[in-house]
Structure 1
């Protein structure tokens, strides 16, 4: 492997022993192999550190970064530090409970190489449960203008699927303003700064849904954070979403405030199946 790899893959890990081996192996078995793999043990108290060390002993592409205390923010603070240490021309992200399809890195790298005006590329996501069973799909707009237009309605970038150009952002990649969902806020900031994002219309990452997943736990709290981020788009940057998007968000917010959380989870899961998103 060259001293300076073309690509850096970053995976923050905090008590991820349950799914960690499968996530690591999905990267090590990629069809594209010229990468360094930065595995961050972010203050884990389970066997994550041991799992990481076992794989590092077998594959020289792995670099271990260690935080004695968890940095919080869903791994985004730890990732900020890792991104700054990444040596690749491009950086890809995967979480420790998700799975990359074998051609993920190759497909995204080829896309960025042939589209020099694109800063960051994501992909569609396959939703899986704790057993790896497919429970849904999530599609996103692919055109940069459509992504900007729809960004108030939803985060159009699947965070575990991102790959972006290194050394474009000199400050932290994630601005840690909110208790959660700072990837959503930070992607918006990058677009406001003139950086262009796109999605490949292929399912390149399996996104795992489980009880400790931050997106699918504490729905009321998560939604209020989501709404606060959306409002910051409007208040701080003058973003003007379509009226239908604003009305839809207001109706959803009303329902979430009224309904009990266990019922909300049931409704959300059913809606995802029906919408196939």
Structure 2
């Protein structure tokens, strides 16, 4: 199959009619305002991008009209409405299953309600994955900010496969809403594992790195909302225990695994507000103006 780069940075496949560059997977539960902001931030060649919204049993259901009206271009989309809320892992897997059954797509990107993409995000990530066939999982640097108290900091990480693997022994280097991965990896590995509650992304990404290389772009391509009522904040204890299990199960370096497990044990007794304060102080010097 011959691939031809388009002038806009996307790609066309000769002999693959109807093929898409990327599908953006967005789960939603009772956050239509955040969903609208996220959808409005999507920017890519309309014929190369598909939007998949999974409404995870919201009290006020997401409507197709809301999705259509929020998208800045005439993107194709599908709204999958689940009958009841069963958690983000189930919602994500339902979305992945629909994508596999109904689309021909190279890459799958993640985005969470309330998080906003830089206008070049999908162009940058599609181009990188196309030019680096050994990379299966790609993230980016991002900016975190809180609409409640004005807390704001940039999140930077290692960018190369070897450095990422080392750091994964202590934390999930990939911020979930920044990732794009090859759809072929999902077919090979399966979806998000259901046996790692609160850290299903960490477990999935670790498995992907056992099959293909990972990389992170040193570009601020997503602004992530700090939501004190969100999953990461409200279930921090369970998340830390889950991270411990992921490192124990998937870590490959005995020394780095031991260090990582010790750090995770220590974090279980440190208040999360203090951790956020340390991160904001550490990254303040790297903050860039809008």
State if a TM-score over 0.5 links the two structures: yes
Cross-structure match for 2:23: 8
**Structure 1 pair 145–57 and aligned structure 2 pair: CA distance change class (3 A):** closer
Q: Which residue of 2 aligns with 1:221?
A: 238
Q: Residue 207 of structure 2 aligns with which residue?
A: 189
Q: How many residues align?
A: 264
Partner of 1:43, secondary structure, is: coil
CA RMSD in angstroms comes to 2.7
Structure 1 pair 16/86, CA: closer, same or farther in 2 (3 Å)?
A: farther
Partner of residue 59 from structure 2, selected from 33, 45, 53: 45
Change (3 A) 1:57 1:45: farther
* Greater displacement, 219-228 / 97-106: 219-228
Aligned partner (choices 94, 98, 103) of residue 78 of structure 1: 94
Match of 1:113, SS? helix
**How much does 1:88 deviate?**
1.8
Give the Cα separation in 1 of the matches to 2:25 and 2:177.
10
**Aligned twin of 1:36:** 50
Residue among 10, 13, 21 paired with 2:36: 21
1:89-108 deviation line (CA, Å, top 9, x unaligned):
22111112211111000000
Q: Which runs of 5 or more residues in structure 1 are unaligned?
A: none
Q: What does residue range 112-123 of structure 1 map to in structure 2 within 5 Å?
A: 112-123=129-140
Q: 5 Å matches for 1:138-217?
A: 138-170=155-187, 171-192=189-210, 194-217=211-234
Q: Aligned-pair distance for 1:161?
A: 0.9
| Of 72, 89, 107, the match for 1:90 | 107
Q: Which moved more, 1:99-108 or 1:162-171?
A: 162-171
Q: Which residue of structure 2 aligns with residue 126 of structure 1?
A: 143
What's the TM-score, normalizing by structure 2? 0.81
Q: Which runs of 5+ in 2 are unaligned?
A: 1-11, 285-290
Question: How far off is 1:266 after superposition?
Answer: 2.3
Deviation at 1:241, TM superposition (A): 4.8
- 8 Å CA contact 2:27–2:53 kept in 1: the answer is yes
